[in-house]
Structures are given as structure tokens and as C-alpha cells.
Structure 1
Amino acid sequence: MWLQVSLLCLSCLTQTQQAQDRASLRRSNDHTGRCHYSFTVPSPEESSCSGGSMKPEMDGVSSRLTLLEALVTRLLAGEDGGAGTGPRAKGEEEVQEAYSQVTRERNQLQQDKELLSRQVQELQRRLAELSQEAETLSQRPCQQTHTSGAKQRENRPASDPAYDLGNGAYQEMKAEVTEVPASQLIPEGSPNFTGCGELQSVGDPVLHKKADSITGKYGVWLQDPEPQGPNYNNKTVWRIDTVGKDVRQVFAYEDMDQLSQGFPMKVLVLPEPMESTGATMYRGSLYYQRKRSRSLIRYDLTSERLASRLELPHAGFHGQHPYSWGGYTDIDLAADEQGLWAIYSTNTAKGAIVISKLDPESLEVKRSWETNIRKNTVANAFIVCGRLYTVGSYTAPNTTINYVFDTATGMGRAVSVPFKNKYRYNSMVDYNHAQRKLFAWDNFHMVTYDIRLGKASNSSS
């Protein structure tokens, strides 16, 4: 349609141009002396300018112009109002939209490709750095680790509440590394082996079971070193998940194999709720701290009844004097070769650890010792052969047993025995003197550590 209009207009312009080529301009003076201009265009068909023949020509031109205007009006109206309604125009719009979408997707894919390329380059750079660092470390000779108190403070993680240099609760200790002669490491079975001595080393943790729910984040698991009664023996494993508002369930497993498979043989329900991870097993009874109190409870496993109850005099409870990891670990009960113990603190002791020897039947305090190490600066504690040992950190993978207090002499000092928190959140450490092992609950994982004791001293508790 546009081609026809263009040809028509071109024809009109051509005729106009040809007429202008034959036009003439004349100039003359009239009788008064004024100049007159005459412009003459010859007619293409007529040789004279008779008025009667001009009107049909003008009518023809006028009709053609009217026809041309109508044609242009129709063309413009069809282009503006009806172009988008035809199937061809609709198809063109769909193709254009699809092309635009493909273009956008291509641009997005290009951006994703560039981002992944940058990430790959960053990972390659980090891998190269780590490889270089590993090579450097492998070529560096091993050095003796300095075990000063300042070094222990540097190795303690910032998340440890005791790692606050401005806090008066932090007590700097100087660790001493003492070389032990081989003659003092008496093997079991030797005539000189008495069964008790100072802790010399702790082995790597051995995994026995991983808890499978959030309630197993931390808890207590034990074997009774001196079982009583016909129902349970020294192979029976006891487990208590201590996450929750009302901790009462005690799971009994026939042995370690049944524990690892998750098949308890019995579930006991305590008459009073338990608080924290300070419970212990000894001579057929479960000893634990009642929730939100300083009351100690002895629960008889054979009769499944509460056998004794006693308030531990002046003991802090429910977050007053916990270990550095928290967890309301104010009162920690322990058993060793010499009997039943309580590890806690009082306001009179100003947060320092207090050790009390308890009567296993009545829970009465027989004797107490006050140490010179603050309870909230250590992660945990246990007692072996009448000696208190504290663990420096509950999260550091390589920490130390950093302090020992001997109840036989009433003296305490800093030590440095390597200890591993393999799973980075050790909330319970307890000693089993029958197996000469430490039982621990490390971030859902129930593990044991073999320990080695030195030559027994001649002192008695």
C-alpha cells in the first residue's frame, strides 16, 4: 500500500516539475510607465486559455486529491488501530517476546558463569596457600611447647567465659612440666603397683555412641565401678540426657554393644528431677543434684527408690558457681578408689573450688578442703586417687589438665597433661577406677579416655 502512495506522489511531483520547466516570465511597461510582470504556464492539453475548458481540469485534480486523502486516511487508520489485531502481527509480538526472554536468560547465565569462575579462582588460591602452609609446616622441626600460664590463656577460645582478662574470676596459673623417670611408671601386675598414683597421661578419646537428638547435646553416661545387687553388673551402661526442663529418665543398657546399637534394656524414672551433668554411679546407687537446689539425692538402682537426701551446706547452685561452660554445673559428684566426693564452691570460698568427702549412705560431709583455683575458670574436674584434676577448656581441641590438688597433703599446683576435646564441647568428665578410664560427653558423643598413673605416693588420705 505504501508503494502505491509513493508512486502516486512521485507522479504528481513529476508533472509539476515538467510544468515549471515550460513556464515563462515576462516584464513590460504599461501606458503609465509602471512595470508589469506576467507569469505564463502553457496547458498540456489546451492551446488556448478559454474559461470553459479550465473547470473540468480543476475538477479532475480536486477529485484525485480527495481520493488520495481518503486513501491516506484509511491507511493511517488501519496502521494505528488494526495492526495489532491480525494473526501476523500477533505472531510477530510472540516472537519478539520469546526473543527478549531468551536474551535475558542468556545474560543471567553469563553472569552466573562469571561468578562461578571467580569462586573457582578463589578456591584455587586458598588451596595453593594451604598446600604451601602444609609444606612449610612439614619442613619445620618440632619444637617443645611452652606451657606457661600466659600460653594457656592464649590457647583458650574467646567463647570461653573464663577468657576475660578483666574479670577477677580469671586466675593465671603457671604450668609446670615435670619429667617423670621411667622407674616411676609402674606397670599393672608389678609387685610394686599399688593402684594409685599421680596422673601422667590421658589417651585419645574412643567413641562409643553418638546421641541422635537435640536432647543429647550434653548429658551423663557411666558404668558403676562397684555394682551392687543381682540386677546390674560392671558391664551395665547408664545414660542420662540432661537437656530439658524436667530430666528424670535413666536408660540402662546391658553392655557397651547394646549402647552403641541404641537398645536399652530398661528405663528408670527418677522421683526428683536432676540438674546438669554432675551425677555419678557408685555401689549400686545413682548420686545426683536435685533441680534448682543444693540437695543431694541417692537413688537406689535395685529398689528404684530414693534412699537418701541431704543439703550440701552453703553450696552454690543453679548458676552461682558453675564450670566455665555453664550448664548449672555448680555441684559435681565423683567417685574414686577412696569413696564419694562433691566438687562445688561457696560464697565464703569466693568461687574457689571446695572438695568434700561424703558418706555414701547418708551423704553427710566427712571432711572438706578449699583449693586455690576458681571453679568458673576451668571447664570440668574429676577426682583420681584422692586428687582433684581440672580441665582447662571444654572447646579447644588440644587443651590440658592444668591443675591438681592432693587431699592427702592439702596442696595444689599447676600441671600440664595434654587432653583432647575431639568434638569441641566437652560437658562431662568422670573417672571410673575399676576400668582406669575417664568417661566424657563431648558434643553429642559419648567417649572414654585411657589414663596412665605414676608411682603411688606413701601418703594416705
Structure 2
Amino acid sequence: MSMSFREMEDTARLRRQYLPVLEHQHDLIELTLHQLRRVLSARPLARRAHRAGAWCHDTLRPSGAIFSLAWQPYRTDTLSEFSSLSDFLEGHATTTYTLPHRVDGTGFVVYDGAAYFNRERTRNILKFDLHTRAKSGEAIIPDANYHDTSPYRWGGKSDLDLSADESGLWVVYATERNHGRVVVSKINPYTLRVEGTWDTVYDKRSAANAFLVCGVLYVLRSFGAEDRIDFMFSTHLGAGATVHIPFPNPYRFITSVSYNPQDGHLYVWNNYHVLRYEIEFGTKRETNGQLYRFG
């Protein structure tokens, strides 16, 4: 099946933009010309002491280090680093960081040696340098609802959810201007300036969680039974689509979903358990073109 001229242009642009990150993942280079087809059954790894939290790798720097944030209301101010997966599973932290402010929600991310999180009781994104152990930036996300105004369905002050993919740093949130529906903004990780914003039609409080892959937002519908991804939004096309992709949920209380572009896996915290999912992508032809209904 031959590509259209527009698709060939898009492919060339993606190669130029993402090749430095994807040099060891050639099969992901043309990801936006494909679509998420399946989320494979989770691989349970360990049980944690906290019901809610998040865990991730540095999404830009190749490293075996793992970062973990266990969330408790009004008491979350510690980030833990583990040198390897085995150390993380055994609970042997290499170091811990005391953050300069407490954290709302579980939507933190580590990108290029810095942790980014939502400062408690604010619509601010804070950048914390892991090398200097100090705050290195803070910025307001304009009009963003915060502190349980528009959280994910599980609650947890999860109004602002940071995400990272092959194209950089993102924040998922809602605004009153968009009637409480999901908004996606691209954030410059070094200046914290908003580089682009897209409004969607998806009610933020109906979403269980969300993540981005190559500039495409995927929204998880339920954090309990019958979980599924039921909405996607392409920031490249500026439009969304209804989809139905089952999302295995063995412990019935997902509090974070983090995509890692280094290995193409999803890192999930689910009701005291940490899990890792593999995901599969298929072309429009393989999926009979049923997923892409933009417009």
C-alpha cells in the first residue's frame, strides 16, 4: 500500500525530529503513521506500601535508573531513585530527594536529568534538577484547573498530569474555558514555556488516566472494571477519534500510567502494585482503518 505525498512528508519530518531519540528503535520512527492496536496483559512486578504512586525511567537519557513517587494527600514531598529494576523491586533506593514543595497527584515525569511535577495547591509545574538537588524552574499552566477541580476519576489531586514521549514534554489537564474537558499542552523542558495547546472534547473527570506516544494522546476510560482506551487525539492533526482498546487491569485501581519511549512500555501503578505493559501498534490497513476517524 503506497503512502500519499502528505504521509511521505510526515515520515521525513518525523525522521528528522525523532531520530536522535529513536536511533535504537527504528520500528517506532513512523509511529504516527500507525496507531495503538493492543495493550498486552500486564506483567506484575512487585507490591508497594502505598496504594497510589508512579514510577518511571528518565524518558530522554538511556539509563537503568528508576524513579518512584509514592503519593499521599498533603504529605508527598519525596522522590526515590533506584539504580536498577532489581533494586526497585527489592526496595533498595540509591538515593532520595526531598522536593522543595509538596506534590499534587501522581503525574510526575523525569526528563533529561530533571523531575517535573505539579506543585501542591497550584496550577504550577515545577522543575527539580536531580544533579543539584534544587528547584531549577517553575511555570504556571494558564487557566489549568487544579487541586481536585478536574482530577482523573480516582481523585488524588490528579488535575495536572505530566507526560513525556519521543517528541518531548507534555501536560494533560482541563480548563473552565474548555468546560472541564481535556486539554493537552506541549512544554519546553528547559524554559517551561508552553509551545502549543490543543483542546479536546473528552471530559477530564471521566478519564481514568492518559499518556502520549509520538504526540498522540490516549485516554483510559475506567480505573476499575472493563478498562479500555476509548479516545485518542493527534496533536499533529489537531483532531480526535473514538476507539475501543481493552486495557488489562488486574488490581482495579490505576493511579498512574507512564510511557517510556526508550523501551516502548507502559509503567503503571495499580492499587499497591507496580506493573509494566507491552503495547503493539498496527497500520491503518492492519486495523481496517477503524481507529482513525478524525474530524
TM-score (norm 1): 0.55
| Local SS of the residue matching 2:86 | helix
Equivalent residue, structure 2, for 1:313: 142
Tell me, what secondary structure is at the counterpart of 1:260? helix
Q: How big is each residue's C-alpha offset from its partner over 1:116-149, in whole Å with a ceiling of 9 and x where there is no partner?
A: xxxxxxxxxxxxxxxxxxxxxxxxxxxxxxxxxx
Return 345-354 or 201-210, whichever deviates more. Answer: 201-210
Please say if residues 193 and 456 of structure 1, whose CA atoms lie closer than 8 Å, have aligned partners that are also in contact: no
Equivalent residues of 2:174, 2:180 under 8 A apart: yes
Q: Of the candidates 301, 309, 318, which is equivalent to residue 130 of structure 2?
A: 301
Q: CA deviation at 1:454?
A: 2.6
**What corresponds to 2:151 in structure 1?**
322
Structure (1 or 2) with the greater strand fraction: 2
| CA deviation map 1:398-445 (0-9, x unaligned) | 421100001111111110111011111011111111110011100000
- 2:256 is aligned, of 428, 431, 434, to 428
Q: Which amino acid counterpart does residue 409 of structure 1 have in structure 2? A: L
Matched-pair contact (CA < 8 Å) for 1:225–1:435: no
Where do residues 222-241 of structure 1 align in structure 2 (5 Å cutoff)?
Answer: 222-227=56-61, 234-241=63-70
- Residue 275 of structure 1: CA displacement? 1.0
Structure-2 residue corresponding to 1:412:
240
SS where residue 235 of structure 1 aligns? Answer: coil
Alignment of 1:135-214 (within 5 A): 194-196=29-31, 197-211=34-48, 213=49
Alignment partners' CA distance in 2, 1:189 and 1:362: 28
Q: Which residue, 180, 204, 207 being the options, matches 1:378?
A: 207
Matches within 5 A, 1:388-403: 388-396=217-225, 398-403=226-231
1:430-449 residue pairs with structure 2 within 5 A? Answer: 430-449=258-277
1:387 aligned residue: 216
In 2, distance between residues paired with 1:225 and 1:426? 21
CA spacing shift, 1:193–1:255, aligned 2, 3 Å: closer
| CA RMSD, Structure 1 to Structure 2 (Å) | 1.9
TM-score normalised per structure 2:
0.84
Which structure would you say has the larger RCO, counting Cα contacts within 8 Å and 6 or more residues apart? 2
**Offset at 1:193?**
6.0
Q: 1:334 to 1:190 in 2, by over 3 A?
A: closer
Extract unaligned runs of 5+ from structure 1: 1-187, 228-232
Aligned to 1:360: 189
Q: When you count helix as a share of all residues, which structure comes out higher? A: 1
Counterpart Cα distance in 2 of 1:455 and 1:300: 39
**Aligned residue in 2 for 1:218:** 52
Q: C-alpha distance in 2, partners of 1:191/1:399?
A: 30
Q: How many Å apart are 1:295 and its aligned residue?
A: 0.9
- Structure 2 unaligned regions, length at least 5: 1-22, 286-295
Match of 2:279 in 1: 451
